[in-house]
Amino acid sequence: MKATLLVMNRAPYAGSLARAGLDAALAYAAFDQPTSVLFAGPGVLQLAPAQAPAAIGRKSLRRLIDSMPLYDLEAVYADGEALACHGLAADDLPAFVTVLDLAGQRDVQDRHEHVLSF
């Protein structure tokens, strides 16, 4: 079976792509497709713990991310440089998220046949 990597590189509420990417990841996992997720660039902001999207009429993406292990989606990664750039620390992330440096990200990408960017 071919593995798919979904790269989340959009800020959480700047449009609909961030939500679409998370929905795609959960759908792949729900159908037992080998799937990994990498939060990169502004996409790491989706992992921020203090989100208040109700003010703009949206639901929290962090709650959706927190449900990933329920779908057996546990290969979830975050770009360490982007985290630092946006003021996030490893302690801010869900416990199942692994922080990667650039070499680690390349390794993860190399292990997947398909890479989708959201």
Instruction: Kindly report the average pLDDT of the chain as a whole number.
Output: 92
* pLDDT in the model for residue 1: 60
For residue 62, which amino acid is it?
R
Per domain, the residue ranges of the chain are 4-117
Q: Which CATH class is domain 4-117?
A: alpha beta
User: What's the rounded mean pLDDT across residues 57-62?
Assistant: 82
Token couple for 105: 């990200």
pLDDT at 56 over 90: no
For 17-41, letters b (16+ CB in 10 Å) and e give ebbebbebbbebbeeeeebbbbbbb
* pLDDT in the model for residue 58: 79
> pLDDT tens, 35-48?
999 999 999 999 99
**For the residues of 22-48, what is the DSSP string, one character each?**
HHHHHHHHHTT--EEEEE-GGGGGGG-
Please name the residue that has the structure tokens 């998370």: 22
User: Cα dihedral angle (13, 42, 21, 48), rounded to 10 degrees?
Assistant: -70
> Whole-prediction pTM value?
0.91
